[in-house]
Structure 1
């Protein structure tokens, strides 16, 4: 089999569940507390989650137009390469390789292992947590080594599991708790200006909604991508919006908003209020299922971007190697797992998150901005799907993306400066690889 070829084996169900699995990680269990610290009424908390869902839906639909137009392995790497310049695509892949994917995967893996340690005390020590995380990464690397379909099957199972767990929490919240949480204490509904407070509240929400782009990394392996990518992106994002808003409504229904602001274990507190001590175990199991599925999703999708870079001559040639039997980009799968393992052993959960979210949203904005340029640059190119509300809705997404970047940059120094330096380090690397392969 040629080293530059991957086969289209992912159907609409796989695509939709990859979108859902790429978005739902840990944020749904915690981030309503962060929102309530910035806006202080239940209505505003839900409004922030709806606004974040609206922004995510615009982004997903914009990516759907680009993915249907260019159903290529690597997704945003290809969109940036064609929409702006090869260096833009390279900087995306470079940052994804060094920071975004290994950092995000290691952070979620750490949360998986920490939560499993609460269920199995023998796995609760600091080194046991890291070893458990490493075991999860390499077990799922082995699964994905044997093909995109085995990885997708695992993804489908665990994404379905997290949806079932969240559905149980939501149904129990409304069915078992008949008196709503107490209203907030008297005081202003937000601190400072409304726009500042709402924007700060939106930051953790946008982090929670990130991940729908991951399915486009596998666009070259999606069957009938002109049809399945837009449908999967839209359906998956809408399901997540419904889940996130419903879960937040349950938290607000069950607990007083002052308690929501003060807790670091929101979903657990809610479940304990509903189910007693069994609720804590239930939420821990739900987090383990959700995070394990997320780890599988990144191992399935991210190596495809690095494979595409190697195929184009922007990484070492072995990066483009495809296993002749299993048809997976095995070199970059193993490389990515190894690099994620190093990051997991070296960093802390909070620091890794501050590295990843900043870089992610820079490229979200640039990709959707490329949609405008491609509309002008290639007006006659086949577009099986066109984003609704063009140009206004994509423009809203671009503005929101860069607004999020600015807020994150200011609030998370010096980590975000380090992230920016890593992006900039890709500029000389681009010219080195281009000269080496010339």
Structure 2
């Protein structure tokens, strides 16, 4: 079995580091603008970050059971395929290929460009050109081989923690410019509480994104049944704690009006805390963090169409299977991914792209949470090195949380949700047509 071929070498600390490195990215610096824009109050902003952390914790603990029970290359695609069949599994791979990874690359390129032109006081006319160059440069680095991409990832993994630690440690002890109220929890502005909560909660989900990959190391852990829940609980709890603190610092440094919708809020808060020169250094650290996150999504993303092509599940599979002779990288897949990302850069903003990709991925997340319940009943004898604690409470919390995000987004951001669902469902005729072509070829 594939399970027996994995070397169990990862310790509790190694798994904890994986959780931290997978989840912490660019969202912590830039989603405050969107969260505050929906919440319009400090109390609901803080509550949304806490609730997002709790929901992410339940999601991570739940999905990890499938990671240990079905430790196959392909991760979530294989969990869904195993439980529901090939078409739903393909649709996740399709959604990752045409929405999730390209939208992440487009959104992070836009946010890098926004910070870059703000730091160097350039005209907003440079926003799109800098974003395109940024996304293209990371794609080219990845086309130079896995070693080049992984070296860049290792470097930025260390750097991205520096601005977070500095902002939290120094910002907490600075005199407050703004009074921050955390009780009672209420929405500001004209929005209803449910509408404000759903929008702000969806926004936090981008910062917590990455939890689905947390269970991927389960098959290589020394004691997954004991260390995996500890690593997920400690890692995601620590991340939630850090996210709440850094947003508290932003809220006590800048007024709500200045934070709401302001993608430069982290940079401006840093200048308030550290002065002009120190603030610029922190902003450079944030830029490196964003570049690293962009590299991580590019590195992972170009392998999804390639993996689908190896199974002959997409049109032009022979082309997508091609590897560059010198660097052994799926270059057609890389070009395809950047092409979609470039189109998205022209069409969408940072918040629009990130909200759409999170909405689509939570559609499949809901299937994953439900799969835990289904397989417990359908295959009770299935080997499960790790079982989600407090079953079925934690999976049910994850399911209800996912339903809340999806249903409220469907009503409050109907166009965004419809576009995401529509692009995902386009995968159905693609799959059926490809299966028909394969059938004709085999005759």
Separation (CA, whole Å) in 2 of partners of 1:298 and 1:72: 20
Other-structure match for 2:171: 173
- For residue 224 of structure 1, report the CA deviation from its aligned partner: 4.4
Separation (CA, whole Å) in 2 of partners of 1:129 and 1:393: 43
User: What per-residue deviation string (whole Å, max 9, x for no partner) do you get for residues 231-286 of structure 1?
Assistant: 66555433422221121122234345565457553323322221222354134313
User: What per-residue deviation string (whole Å, max 9, x for no partner) do you get for residues 180-235 of structure 1?
Assistant: 63256x9993356644443333221223212222456x669x74497387666555
Q: In the alignment, is the contact (CA less than 8 A) between 1:113 and 1:133 conserved in 2?
A: yes
- Choose from 149, 155, 166 the match for 1:157: 155
User: What per-residue deviation string (whole Å, max 9, x for no partner) do you get for residues 130-173 of structure 1?
Assistant: 44224433233235x235xx533422321221112100111110
Other-structure match for 1:377: 378
- For residue 29 of structure 1, report the CA deviation from its aligned partner: 1.9
Q: In the alignment, is the contact (CA less than 8 A) between 1:72 and 1:78 conserved in 2?
A: yes
2:364 is equivalent to residue 363 of structure 1 = yes
Other-structure match for 2:26: 26
Separation (CA, whole Å) in 2 of partners of 1:72 and 1:205: 30
Length-normalised TM-score, structure 1: 0.83
Q: In the alignment, is the contact (CA less than 8 A) between 1:123 and 1:129 conserved in 2?
A: no
Structure 2 vs 1, CA of residues 53 and 302 (structure 1 numbering), >3 Å: closer, same or farther? same
Length-normalised TM-score, structure 2: 0.83
RMSD: 3.6
1:250-399 equivalent positions in 2, closer than 5 A: 250-257=249-256, 260-261=259-260, 263-315=262-314, 316-320=317-321, 329=330, 331-345=332-346, 347-399=348-400
Structure 2 vs 1, CA of residues 239 and 420 (structure 1 numbering), >3 Å: closer, same or farther? same
User: What per-residue deviation string (whole Å, max 9, x for no partner) do you get for residues 46-97 of structure 1?
Assistant: 2321111010011111221111212222211101101112111111111111
2:246 is equivalent to residue 247 of structure 1 = yes
Q: In the alignment, is the contact (CA less than 8 A) between 1:190 and 1:197 conserved in 2?
A: yes
Q: In the alignment, is the contact (CA less than 8 A) between 1:321 and 1:330 conserved in 2?
A: yes
1:118-157 equivalent positions in 2, closer than 5 A: 118-120=118-120, 125-126=126-127, 128-143=129-144, 145-147=145-147, 150-157=148-155
Separation (CA, whole Å) in 2 of partners of 1:307 and 1:16: 29
Separation (CA, whole Å) in 2 of partners of 1:188 and 1:234: 26
Other-structure match for 1:67: 67
Number of positions where the alignment pairs a residue of Structure 1 with one of Structure 2: 427
SS in 2 for 1:376: helix
Structure 2 vs 1, CA of residues 401 and 127 (structure 1 numbering), >3 Å: closer, same or farther? closer
Q: Which moved more, 1:343-352 or 1:294-303?
A: 343-352
Separation (CA, whole Å) in 2 of partners of 1:9 and 1:139: 34
SS in 2 for 1:386: coil
